[in-house]
Amino acid sequence: MIREIEVTEVTQNIREMCIQTNYFLSEDMACAMKEAAEKEQGALGKKILGQLEENLEIAKTDQIPICQDTGMAVIFLEIGQDVHFTGGDLQEAVEEGVRQGYIEGYLRKSVVGDPLLRENTKDNTPAILHTSIVPGNQVNIIVAPKGFGSENMSRIVMLKPAQGVEGVKQVILDTVREAGPNACPPLVVGVGIGGTFEKAALLAKQALTRPVGEKAQAPHIRSLEEEMLEKINQLGIGPGGLGGNTTALAVHINTYATHIAGLPTAVNLCCHVNRHVKRTL
Amino acid sequence: MDYRIAAPLDREMIKTLRAGDYVWISGTIYTARDAAHKRMQETLDDGQKLPLDWKDNIIYYMGPSPAREGRVIGSAGPTTASRMDLYAPKLLDMGLGGMIGKGKRSPEVLDAIVRNGAVYFAAVGGAGALLSRQIKQAEVVAYEDLGTEAIRRLEVEDFPVIVVIDSQGNNLYEMISQDNTV
Ligand code: SF4
A271 Cβ below 6 A of ligand 1: yes
Q: Atom 3 in ligand 1: which residue has the minimum CA distance?
A: B126
Asked whether A273 lines ligand 1 (CB < 6 A), one says yes
Pick from B103, B130, B146: CB nearest A181:
B103
Compare all CA atoms of chain A with the CA of B124 and give the residue at the minimum distance: A240
B142 in contact with A, Cβ within 8 Å? no
B61, B75, B80, B100: which to mutate for ligand 1, most atoms within 8 A of CB? B80
Q: pLDDT tens, B38-72?
A: 999 999 999 999 999 999 999 999 999 999 999 99
pLDDT in tens, A64-89: 999 999 999 999 999 999 999 999 99
Counting from 1 in the atom list of ligand 1, the atom nearest the Cα of B78 is: 5
Domains within chain A, CATH numbers bracketed: 3-21+66-145 (no CATH), 148-274 (3.30.1330)
**Identity of the residue in B125, B176, B180 whose CB atom sits nearest the CB atom of A184:** B125
Chain A residues with beta carbon closer than 8 angstroms to that of B143: none
Distance CA B106, CA A183 (A): 16
ipTM: 0.90
Name chain A contacts of B77, Cβ cutoff 8 Å. Answer: 67-69
Is a pLDDT exceeding 50 seen at residue B182?
Answer: no
B23 touches chain A (CB under 8 A): no
DSSP state of B16: T
Ligand 1 close to Cβ of residue A67 (< 6 A): yes
More confident residue, B181 or A79: A79
Task: Give all domains of chain B, ordered by start, each with its CATH number.
Answer: 2-180 (3.20.130.10)
Which residue's CA is the nearest one to ligand 1's atom 1? A149
Higher pLDDT among residues A253 and B182, named by residue: A253
- Using CA coordinates, name the residue in chain B closest to A243: B176
Which candidate from B103, B130, B173 shows the least CB-CB separation from A54? B130
d(CA B102, CA A54): 19
pLDDT at B171: 95
The distance of A272 to chain B (nearest Cα, Å) reads: 7
Give the DSSP letter of residue B75: -
Taking contacts as CB-CB distances below 8 angstroms, the residues of chain B near A182 are 80, 82, 102-104
pLDDT of amino acid B177:
75
| Pair type for strands A263-270 and A155-159 | antiparallel
> Cβ distance B87 to B93 under 8 Å?
no
Kindly report, residue by residue over B63-96, the tens digit of the pLDDT: 999 999 999 999 999 999 999 999 999 999 999 9
Distance CA A90, CA A18 (A): 17
d(CA A229, CA A223): 10
> Which residues are registered as beta bridge partners of A200?
none
Within chain A, which residues score under 50 in pLDDT?
none
Phi-psi region of A245 (alpha: psi -120 to 50; beta: other; left: phi over 0): alpha
Using the Cβ of B51 and the Cβ atoms of chain A, whether some distance falls under 8 Å is answered with no
Residue B82 Cα, ligand 1 centroid: separation in angstroms? 14
All residues of chain B having their beta carbon less than 8 Å from the beta carbon of residue A181 are 102-104, 122, 125, 173
Residues near A127 by beta carbon (within 8 Å), at least 6 away in sequence = A72, A73, A74, A75, A94, A95, A98
Cross-chain Cβ contact B74/A241 below 8 Å: no
The whole-number average pLDDT for the span B13-21 is 95
- Nearest residue in B to A149, CA atom: B80
Closest CA in chain A for residue B62:
A68
- The CA A270 to ligand 1 mean position distance, Å, reads 8
Predicted pLDDT of residue B180: 62
Q: Is A69 in the pocket of ligand 1 (CB under 6 A)?
A: yes
Question: A211: Cβ–Cβ under 8 A, 6 or more apart, which residues?
Answer: A26, A28
**Quick check: helix, strand or coil at residue B99?**
strand
- How many CB atoms are closer than 10 A to CB A123? 16
Across the interface, whether the CB atoms of A152 and B80 are under 8 A apart is answered: yes
Question: What pLDDT, on the 0 to 100 scale, is given for residue A43?
Answer: 85
* pLDDT single digits (tens) B120-178: 999 999 999 999 999 999 999 999 999 999 999 999 999 999 999 999 999 999 988 77
